[in-house]
């Protein structure tokens, strides 16, 4: 038996027996559910994160991701088979290492691979023969082969011979109670057959189904194509909203009717723009890599710019509407001067505690530039967090939603339609309502007197 096949066989045997030890690098929205899924499947699992506060809270059993079952983290920790640590040296004990670190954009909108590079360097320091390393972060096609692999091979070990390497894109949909890590099929790709077989075996052991593809770059491209598809369709539906509104047609009714077609149409819905760590970012990675490869993605680039412009367009729309009511502004550059507005929902998505790249916060800033005094209400954010791209808003507090307070605003604008707020109260007491999500219609609350404006 040759060397590489002996490593392959021993790791291959430790997967069905659940003797393989799993390490997940990065315990965020992707890494933590993934680590718990490996634990649920019977594997001893550790999670490694640089953020000491997050590690401590996880070890205390705190529900650091709101939509996970309340006792899921605590019971995993109590079992003794799952724990979180900051100690990267523990990577040496793992048989399978899954890297789930952030892949944001730089200030000039290019791929920021610093976290992936740093995590790969940590793994390289501890790499030993027989380990399987899988990158899960969303990256440009070629990153596993051309960025991660050389870092790991700087250890002197060779991928596909001494250790195994591949890519599997994360498809986590935060807040989705129907599809979680365990029951979403997972694409897996590697550049050698032994790595691909091990990755396929591992994911088949922890989730519903692994979907093998012929290379790591193919698997990397799958993720970017999925997110670019959504980016383009969101831009398209927002454009349709504006065009149909000019014709006096309700886009929401059109989509509901079009969605009855059993083939060839997939509903996307208008909104205040796109946010989160994924949908706005992946198309930029694809575009950057296409240019690098001598190609281009003009349609995707146009959709990105179109989506980025939505919050400013909505702010101008709100200003125009309120100015019609209150007469010409004293200062045309600040048409909302003196107007108090309440934004409902500042997370980027319904029922998640995440404001990364949230269009609601961009809209808040735009409305203030136009002179408004803006408060917000969001049950997931009693106050706005420190750091990140909205550092200037840190510390602001969510205002309570009461009949008395709602009446004091010139308008209430629903930006992110969390489940918890009392929309009936808003419908009864708000002077004017701007609804970017069609939430009042969706949950069947009538707003009388023409006070509701879908924007
Ligand atoms: N959030 C989503 O909905 C989602 C969905 C699909 C894919 N993704 C992709 O998954 C990846 C991770 O995203 P996320 O939302 O989980 O990010 P996140 O910011 O929620 O979590 C990342 C975690 O990694 C930790 N970290 C950073 N560098 C580290 C290092 N060198 N070693 C150990 N820990 C480190 C951070 O402290 C943080 O806790 C990204 O590439 C993202 O694009 C995210």
**Average pLDDT for residues 441-448, to the nearest whole number?**
94
Contact residues for 6 (Cβ-Cβ < 8 A; gap 6+): none
Joined tokens for residue 448: 């009388």
Do 289 and 202 lie in one domain? The reply is no
Could you give the residue ranges of the DSSP H alpha helices within 207-250?
Answer: 216-246
Determine the distance separating the centroid of ligand 1 and the alpha carbon of 101, expressed in angstroms.
Answer: 4
Contact residues for 387 (Cβ-Cβ < 8 A; gap 6+): 394
pLDDT the model gives residue 450: 86
Do 192 and 304 lie in one domain? The reply is no
Identify the active-site residue in 98, 116, 143, 278: 278
Do 174 and 321 lie in one domain? The reply is no
Residue 275 belongs to some domain of the structure: no
Do 290 and 144 lie in one domain? The reply is no
Residue 192: strand pairing partners: none
Query: Is the pLDDT reported for residue 1 higher than 70?
Result: no
Contacts of 5-13 with C-beta under 8 Å, sequence gap 24+, read 5/194, 7/129, 7/130, 7/162, 7/163, 7/164, 8/164, 8/194, 8/197, 8/198, 10/130, 11/95, 11/96, 11/130, 11/131, 11/132, 11/164, 11/198, 12/197, 12/198, 12/201
Q: Among the three residues 214, 244, 259, which one is the final residue of a domain in this structure?
A: 214
Domain residues for the domain of 15 are 3-214
Residue 33 belongs to some domain of the structure: yes
Residue 353 belongs to some domain of the structure: yes
Do 84 and 196 lie in one domain? The reply is yes
Joined tokens for residue 433: 């309502």
Residue 381 belongs to some domain of the structure: yes
CATH number of domain containing 108? 3.40.50.720
Determine the distance separating the centroid of ligand 1 and the alpha carbon of 28, expressed in angstroms.
Answer: 5
CB atoms within 10 A of CB 62: 13
**Average pLDDT for residues 433-443, to the nearest whole number?**
97
Query: Is the pLDDT reported for residue 328 higher than 80?
Result: no
- DSSP letter at 207? S
Do 63 and 159 lie in one domain? The reply is yes
Do 177 and 294 lie in one domain? The reply is no
- What pLDDT digit, counting tens, does each position of 192-207 carry? 999 999 999 999 999 9
Q: Among the three residues 214, 232, 251, which one is the final residue of a domain in this structure?
A: 214
Do 185 and 298 lie in one domain? The reply is no
Mutate to test the pocket of ligand 1, among 30, 172, 226 (most ligand atoms within 8 A of CB): 30
Do 286 and 209 lie in one domain? The reply is no
Do 354 and 210 lie in one domain? The reply is no
pLDDT the model gives residue 181: 87
Distance between CA 90 and CA 434 in Å, rounded? Answer: 52
Residue 401 belongs to some domain of the structure: yes
Q: Among the three residues 183, 214, 245, which one is the final residue of a domain in this structure?
A: 214
Determine the distance separating the centroid of ligand 1 and the alpha carbon of 20, expressed in angstroms.
Answer: 23
Do 190 and 313 lie in one domain? The reply is no
How high does pLDDT run on average in the chain? 95
Q: Report the nearest-CA residue for atom 36 of ligand 1.
A: 26
| Listed residue (376, 410, 432, 319) closest to 384, CA to CA | 376
- What pLDDT digit, counting tens, does each position of 13-58 carry? 999 999 999 999 999 999 999 999 999 999 999 999 999 999 999 9
Q: Is 100 a catalytic residue?
A: no
| Listed residue (80, 87, 69) closest to 32, CA to CA | 69
Do 447 and 303 lie in one domain? The reply is yes
**Do residues 370 and 319 lie in contact, with contact meaning Cβ atoms separated by under 8 Å?**
yes
- What pLDDT digit, counting tens, does each position of 202-245 carry? 999 999 999 999 999 999 999 999 999 999 999 999 999 999 99
pLDDT the model gives residue 332: 81
Query: Is the pLDDT reported for residue 2 higher than 80?
Result: no
Strands 186-190 and 164-167: antiparallel
Q: Report the nearest-CA residue for atom 15 of ligand 1.
A: 29
Domain count across the chain: 2
Residues with CB under 6 A from ligand 1: 25-31, 48-51, 54, 100-103, 115, 118-119, 122, 137-138, 170, 172, 174, 276-278, 281
Residue 258 belongs to some domain of the structure: no
């Amino acid at each position: 038996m040759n060397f590489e096949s002996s490593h392959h066989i021993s790791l291959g045997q430790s997967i069905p027996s659940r003797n393989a030890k799993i390490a997940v690098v990065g315990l965020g929205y992707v890494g933590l559910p993934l680590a718990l899924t490996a634990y649920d499947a019977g594997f001893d699992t550790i999670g490694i994160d640089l953020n000491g506060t997050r590690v401590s809270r996880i070890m205390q059993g705190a529900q650091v991701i709101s939509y996970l079952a309340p006792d899921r983290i605590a019971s995993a920790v109590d079992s003794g088979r799952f724990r979180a640590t900051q100690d990267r040296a523990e990577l040496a004990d793992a048989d399978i290492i899954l890297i789930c670190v952030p892949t944001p954009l730089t200030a000039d909108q290019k791929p920021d691979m610093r976290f992936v590079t740093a995590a790969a360097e940590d793994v390289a320091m501890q790499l030993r023969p027989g380990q399987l390393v899988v990158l899960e972060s969303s990256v440009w096609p070629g990153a596993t082969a051309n960025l991660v692999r050389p870092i790991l091979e700087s250890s002197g070990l060779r991928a596909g011979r001494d250790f195994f390497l591949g890519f599997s894109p994360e498809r986590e949909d935060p807040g989705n109670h129907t599809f979680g890590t365990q029951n979403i099929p997972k694409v897996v790709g590697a550049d050698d057959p032994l790595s691909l077989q091990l990755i396929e075996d591992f994911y088949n052991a922890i989730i519903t189904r692994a979907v093998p593809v012929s290379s790591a770059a193919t698997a990397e491209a799958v993720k970017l194509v999925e997110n670019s598809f959504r980016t383009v369709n969101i831009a398209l539906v927002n454009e349709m909203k504006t065009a149909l509104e000019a014709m006096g047609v309700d886009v929401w009714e059109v989509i509901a009717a079009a969605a009855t077609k059993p083939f060839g149409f997939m509903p996307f819905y208008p909104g205040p723009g796109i946010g989160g760590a994924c949908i706005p970012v992946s198309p930029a990675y694809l575009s950057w890599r296409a240019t690098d490869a001598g190609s281009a993605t003009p349609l995707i680039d146009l959709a990105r710019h179109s989506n980025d412009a939505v919050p400013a367009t909505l702010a101008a729309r709100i200003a125009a509407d309120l100015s019609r009511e209150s007469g010409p502004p004293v200062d045309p550059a600040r048409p909302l001067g003196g107007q108090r507005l309440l934004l409902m929902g500042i997370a980027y998505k319904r029922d998640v505690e995440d404001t990364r790249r949230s269009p609601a916060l961009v809209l808040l800033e735009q409305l203030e530039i136009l002179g408004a005094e803006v408060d917000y209400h969001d049950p997931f954010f009693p106050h706005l967090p420190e750091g990140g791209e909205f550092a200037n808003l840190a510390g602001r507090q969510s205002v309570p939603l009461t009949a008395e307070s709602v009446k004091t605003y010139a308008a209430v604008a629903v930006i992110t339609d969390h489940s918890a707020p009392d929309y009936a109260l808003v419908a009864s007491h708000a002077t004017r309502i701007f609804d970017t999500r069609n939430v009042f219609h969706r949950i069947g609350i009538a707003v009388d007197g023409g006070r509701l404006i879908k924007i």
